[in-house]
Amino acid sequence: MASLLDDSESDPESESETDPTSLEEDLATWATENKISHVALNSLLNILRQHSLNLPKDSRTLLGTVRGNPQIQHKAGGQYYHFGVLNSITEVLHQNVKILSNIHTLELQVNIDGLPLYKSSSTQFWPILGTLQNIQQEEPVTIGLFCGTGKPTSLTEYLEDFITEVNELGNGFEFEGVRLALQLSSMVCDAPARAFLKNIKGHTGYHGCEKCTQDGVYLENRMTFPRSDMPLRTNESFRNKTDSDHHHGTSPLEQTSLDMVSGIPLDYMHLVCLGIMRRLLHLWLKMGPLTCRLSGFQINTLTERLVNAQRSVPMEFARKPRALREIDRWKATEFRQFLLYTGPVMLKDLLTTEVYKNFLLLFVGIFILCNNSLMEDYCDYANDILVLFVNHFGQLYGPQFLSYNAHCLVHLADDAKKHGVLDNFSAFKYENHLNKLKRLLRKPTCPLSQIIKRFSEMQRSCKKPHKTRPHLLKKQHATGPLPASFHEATQYKELRTSPCTLKLDRANSHVYISGKVAKLQNIISFRDEIYVAYSSFNHQESFFDYPLPSSTLGIYLVDDLSTTVEFCKFEEIENKIFLVPYLRHFVAIPLLHTD
């Protein structure tokens, strides 16, 4: 390793940029990143100018705030501002300019969804967000922004600027001497937004399935889709309106090269996490047949296990497990955490065998589709067991629960085959960006103008090229253990790397090394290399055997931590682990998410 960064207290410049910047640029960046109001910044500038510093009088000059009235269009029943596709991705291209010569076509993924702004008002944003799928991009960009009291009244008017520019860029353009083209590769939205954008029947309609031609069955006040073997829709059949009952009319998106079926995939944040996982929990708690429900004692036991697991949750998770009485306030990330990490462990001896096995079918199928290393060999298997889950789900809980979300699980693996792991085309990253967008507002009036001004200010603070962050070692100590030959080695308690952080604590010290579950005992810097000291668990076996041995997924039941300390290079660590407590043992589950 070429260089190591030491503890920030002993090396205060370790994380600073080496690029020279002026005081004005630093102040502008500081004010933007810390959301300093113009009034406060004007006051600061006045003080600094009294000390003979040559700075602007007005914060708007310093920040580069757009002056006058922005070119806001009045259309589609509200106001719209088009930031532009190329203008929005320019900074991303600058940050990756060195690799552009190896890329001929930029793959653009777009997200569209409604964002309510205030509790006391119906005002909402409908942003057009985008990410380049084949270029490293930290977060989505805003391509266009609609503001109104509801969704756009005219889809054609709302999308016309976006579609025109996408088609122009699809013909090719020059950037920094490199010839590039842009392709609209996918659109990620929830079910109502997909129906709106495709101009088709909604998910509660008889012809609402976007992937197959199944006719829905209305059962106990619900639209259900009981079949899993119906003919699939294609881009050609969609554009030809072969199933005329599926369409309201022609979508303006058909003017682009986007595949109108596979190019608009199912979003697993809404479909699986907020959909089927939330439904399962409600079925177990109060809605399902008595044979499938948890007793009051079992519910209390599950809540206790969730709360007790809080100390074991790695720092990559934004939220800790919450009690089941808070389930109506759980966020999508909490349902995802329950499905892929805590749920399979904590439900094992609480649900009946039949109900638990059905849940394992869902868990294994989604776990495979979220795992890059498993997708290549097990994608078809994941499809098979998700179909089995849906069929068994209807038998267990009743056919009235085979609604849109449950049915669409049989199509999820097909989308993964085209777009990769589920997080490649989930709404999680866009939901985070929507929240950031909302926090830019400083007052309730003129929200669209406010966002335009904030964006003009933010452009000044994002000019630096993207740099891969080196490993960052922190919290130096001298308590060992160390190899006998490591004279003058430096020891640390924390190693920050992309995409995870390792610490010598309960929640962040468990990893896979040579296929073994291990606990880190020390992090060592010696002769420009990073080493770790670790102890392995003496007992390691599969946690479950149905529908396949959990060891196939890298999931193990472990106990009896060895007292023997071994050493290896940091690069030999295969994955970070979420070590979930289970009775008097632990279950090791590889980390799939870092957000």
Q: What is the mean pLDDT of residues 495-509?
A: 92
Q: In 515-525, which positions are buried (b, 16+ CB within 10 angstroms) versus exposed (e)?
A: ebbbbbbbbbb
Predicted confidence band of residue 4 (pLDDT cuts 50, 70, 90) = very low
Residue 396 CB partners (closer than 8 Å, separation 6+): 289, 292, 354, 355, 358
pLDDT at site 576: 97
DSSP reduced 3-state for 526: strand
pLDDT at site 12: 39
Mean pLDDT of the chain: 90
Cα 503 to its chain centre, rounded Å, is 23
Element containing residue 589 per DSSP (H, E): strand 585-590
- Helices (H), strands (E): how many in the chain? 17, 20
Q: Is the peptide bond before 547 cis (omega within 30 degrees of 0)?
A: yes
> Residues 29, 557: contact at Cβ < 8 Å?
no
pLDDT at site 379: 97
Q: Write the burial class of residue 412 (CB in 10 Å: 0-12 exposed, 13-18 middle, 19+ buried).
A: buried
Residue 183 has pLDDT above 70, yes or no: yes
Residue 481 has pLDDT above 60, yes or no: yes
pLDDT at site 7: 44
Tokens of 60: 């708007």
Give the integer Cα–Cα distance in Å for 200 and 584.
53
pLDDT at site 64: 64
In the chain, which residues fall in CATH 2.30.30? 472-590
> Residues 157, 151: contact at Cβ < 8 Å?
no
Residue 546 has a CB neighbour count (10 Å cut-off) of: 12
Q: What CATH number is given for 472-590 in this structure?
A: 2.30.30
Q: Where are the beta strands (DSSP E) in 431-572?
A: 472-477, 490-496, 501-503, 510-513, 516-526, 529-542, 556-561, 566-569
pLDDT at site 9: 42
Whose CA is closest to 92, among 175, 21, 29, 34?
A: 175
Whose CA is closest to 319, among 327, 331, 308, 329?
A: 331
DSSP reduced 3-state for 76: coil
Residue 69 has pLDDT above 70, yes or no: no
Give the integer Cα–Cα distance in Å for 188 and 263.
9
Tokens of 34: 């810390």
Predicted confidence band of residue 15 (pLDDT cuts 50, 70, 90) = very low
pTM reported for the whole predicted model: 0.89
Cα 32 to its chain centre, rounded Å, is 25
Lowest-confidence pick of 348-362, 381-395, 424-438: 424-438
Matching residue, tokens 């630096």 = 464
DSSP reduced 3-state for 479: coil
pLDDT at site 429: 94
pLDDT at site 43: 80
Q: What is the mean pLDDT of residues 338-358?
A: 98
* Residue of 321 and 69 predicted with greater confidence: 321
Give the integer Cα–Cα distance in Å for 205 and 217.
9
Q: What is the mean pLDDT of residues 159-167?
A: 98
SS3 content of the chain, % helix, strand, coil (to 5): 40, 20, 40
Lowest-confidence pick of 2-6, 492-496, 545-549: 2-6
Matching residue, tokens 């106001």 = 79
Give the integer Cα–Cα distance in Å for 272 and 423.
12
Matching residue, tokens 């919290």 = 475
Q: What is the mean pLDDT of residues 222-233?
A: 95
Q: What is the mean pLDDT of residues 176-204?
A: 96
Length of the chain: 595
